[in-house]
Amino acid sequence: MRALAVARALRGLASAASNGRSEVMPTLARAMASSSVAAEEQQAGSSKAQYAAGLGGMLAGIFGASIVASSADEVGDGLHSPHYPWPHEGIFDSYDHGSIRRGHQVYQQVCAACHSLDYVHWRQLVGVAYTEEEAKVLAAETEVTDGPNDEGEMFTRPGRLSDKMPNPYANEQAARFANGGAYPPDLSLISGARHSGQNYLFALLTGYREPPAGISVREGLYYNPYFPGGAIAMPKMLVDGGTDYDDGTPASASQQAKDVTTFLTWTCYPFQDEMRVMGIKACVTLLAIIGFVSYSKRLRWAPLKSQRIVIDTVNWAAGAASSADGADDGRAAGLPAVLV
């Protein structure tokens, strides 16, 4: 652009020289002005290009970092579990007690060999999954270490409703030794201790698969994309027909996963139904109180808010005149107001 402007200036100078000396300086000034304008335009265009390039690089860096971060999170935290339509999830919904009963059977026949329920007692199952007699029979099938007795020795006795559900291992060291160094967590509060709770549990129990190409899992671990890191020490435990339901429900793997997830959700939130009923009652009572207060407020304030104040200017003028004549003992008359 600058070279073109200089060339135009030279041609102008040549024509000016042929036409006369008087046009040389104006032509040179115009040439320099056009050259400076072209330089400014070129500089502005270069600045815009640099700004666009910088913005594009920044966006590309942010987008690339987000992809890397999401991939790292997926590897480190596990694949995010999908959302499942649980029948007890709504505000006006309650637990499926048949599913809780089947879920306890899945726990007893499959999960209790490794996992404990330290915060669940047999008495909590009464009226929820079993009758009192059924719960007593289940508790009596277990042996509880108690004591000391009169001789100062510990002894074993049949379980009672007041006892906790038995722990499969005496301590953490025994649990790790029996499971190759992995410690099976207690399942009492597992539904609330994991992100997306019941959805995570169901996805984990049904998410076992062969590792994809390029991913190797060391011996003793099993690939599950929903577990943090993708490798879990627990093998796939739920298979079709792996549990004997006493109500005749077909024991598919997904049915067992659904029932045991419902049971573990109940162990974490055993008073969920009662709290919802209490909350509904509280909301209804609150609405009734709000209606009563609103009606009382309108009843109390309606006469005051609907009244009118009328200024009797005629009588005020007469009173003012009489006050001026001294007929009112020298007291000034104010504007009389009448409430209507």
CA–CA distance, 105 with 266 (Å, rounded to integer): 14
Judge whether 264 and 117 are in contact, CB under 8 Å. Answer: no
DSSP three-state, residue 189: coil
- Residue for token pair 């024991």: 251
pLDDT of 275-314, one tens digit each?
999 999 999 999 999 999 999 998 988 888 888 777 777 7
Q: What is the pLDDT of residues 109-164, one digit of tens each?
A: 999 999 999 999 999 999 999 999 999 999 999 999 998 888 889 999 999 999 99
Kindly give, in sequence order, each residue whose CB lies less than 8 Å from that of residue 136, ignoring residues fewer than 6 positions away. Answer: 122, 160, 161
Q: Could you give the CA distance from residue 28 to residue 55 in angstroms, rounded to a whole number?
A: 41
Residue written as token pair 């309650």: 94
CB-based contact 163:144 (threshold 8 Å): yes
Q: Which residues lie below 8 Å from residue 77, measured CB to CB, with a gap of 6+?
A: 228
Tell me the pLDDT tens digit for each residue of 41-83. Answer: 666 556 665 666 666 666 655 555 444 444 445 556 779 999 9
Helix intervals (H) in 88-171 = 97-109, 132-140
Q: Which residue reads 């559900």 in tokens?
A: 165
* Cβ contact 109:239 at 8 Å: no
pLDDT digits (tens, 9 = 90+) for 216-274: 899 989 999 999 999 999 999 999 999 999 999 999 999 999 999 999 999 999 999 99
Q: Is the pTM of this model over 0.75?
A: no
In terms of residues, how long is the chain?
340
Which among 194, 230, 228 has a CA at the least distance from the CA of 209? 230
Which of the 8 DSSP states describes residue 308?
Answer: -
pLDDT in tens, 158-216: 999 999 999 999 999 999 999 989 999 999 999 999 999 999 999 999 999 999 998 88
Distance between CA atoms of 38 and 31, rounded to whole angstroms?
11
